[in-house]
Amino acid sequence: MNGGFSSARSIAWPVFPVRDWAQLVRERLGAMGIGAEREDEIVAELGAHLEDCVSAAVRNGRAESDAVDMALEEVPDWVALNREIAEAKKEEPMNERTRTLWLPGTTMLVSAYVLMEVVTRLVPHNAWIRPLFPMFIFVPWLLAYGVLGAMGAQWSRRVGGNARTRALAGTFPIALHMVIFLCVFIATSLQPHPRTPEWLMPSFLLAVFFKFILLPGIALAVGALPFLRDRTPASTKLPGTANA
């Protein structure tokens, strides 16, 4: 036994019949370090394949115990398979980064831009700096950003992104707000409005920062938060084994 792994022939397998092949595969493979969603997919696919092998052998007249042995021979070394899966993930780091961060993140950013266009067409531009911002637009806008944050983080988690990548994918649209805020800051600094007293400029920028960056960023983060943790794996106790 090596770190909880072993080859198929050296394992004391559970009493037959095996009723949950996916559970057995998860026990043999252990953690693969590729994200919970991707691990679930591999476990389900391999479990289904082994179960199909057993069913086919039984239909051909083999005893169930022999059919199970034949199925387990499909994976002679679980340690090697675990290693191959982990190495396959490392071979294409740029593709993985694109899949887990850039694709979901930029999709949410574009969605945020479209949403912002809708909001700015519905609300006069000077409403952004009014003390009483129209709440009937602002609150639904923040709620929509919570949904975008959740969608970006969930997308990243589903394709194997780690917690940091999920957080970045979920909050990616805030980059658009920061660029716009920087443009406003530069424009205000270089060419202040002639009717605006100089002592009002910091409060103007603070109001823009609070309403245009801080609150949307919080909404995105809150939406992404539930998807930053991996799903709690089901018990890997094999069927037919006694309690410890």
> What percent of the chain lies above the pLDDT cut of 70?
73
Asked if residue 2 belongs to a domain, the reply is no
Asked if residue 114 belongs to a domain, the reply is yes
**Could you tell me the CA-to-CA distances from 6 to 30, 50, 66 in Å, in that order?**
11, 17, 20
Confidence (pLDDT) at 160: 82
79 & 196 share domain: no
Q: Where in the sequence is the domain holding 151, given as residue range(s)?
A: 93-227
57 & 112 share domain: no
83 & 97 share domain: no
Asked if residue 233 belongs to a domain, the reply is no
For the chain, what is the mean pLDDT? Answer: 77
Confidence (pLDDT) at 224: 96
Mean pLDDT of all residues in 72-80: 83
Q: Which of 31, 59, 91 is the last residue of a domain?
A: 91
Structure confidence by residue, pLDDT tens digits, 24-33? 888 888 887 7
Q: Which of 91, 106, 138 is the last residue of a domain?
A: 91
Asked if residue 68 belongs to a domain, the reply is yes
Structure confidence by residue, pLDDT tens digits, 191-244? 655 555 554 567 777 877 888 899 999 999 999 999 998 765 444 343 443 443
pTM above 0.85, yes or no: no
86 & 148 share domain: no
166 & 83 share domain: no
State the pLDDT confidence band at 130, using cuts at 50, 70 and 90: low
99 & 198 share domain: yes
Confidence (pLDDT) at 94: 53
Give the least confident one: 72-76, 155-159, 216-220: 72-76
Report whether 127 contacts 134 (CB < 8 A): yes
> What percent of the chain lies above the pLDDT cut of 90?
25
Q: How many domains does the chain have?
A: 2
> Which residues make Cβ contacts (< 8 Å) with residue 147, sequence separation at least 6?
223
pLDDT at 11 over 50: no
Structure confidence by residue, pLDDT tens digits, 108-128? 999 999 988 887 777 666 665
State the pLDDT confidence band at 175, using cuts at 50, 70 and 90: very high
72 & 109 share domain: no
Confidence (pLDDT) at 118: 81
61 & 99 share domain: no
86 & 201 share domain: no
Type and span of the H or E element at 83:
helix 78-91
67 & 114 share domain: no
217 & 118 share domain: yes
Asked if residue 133 belongs to a domain, the reply is yes
State the pLDDT confidence band at 22, using cuts at 50, 70 and 90: confident
Burial environment of residue 209 by CB neighbours within 10 A (0 to 12, 13 to 18, 19 or more): middle
> What is 147-165 written as a DSSP string?
HHHHHHHHHHHHTT--HHH
218 & 98 share domain: yes
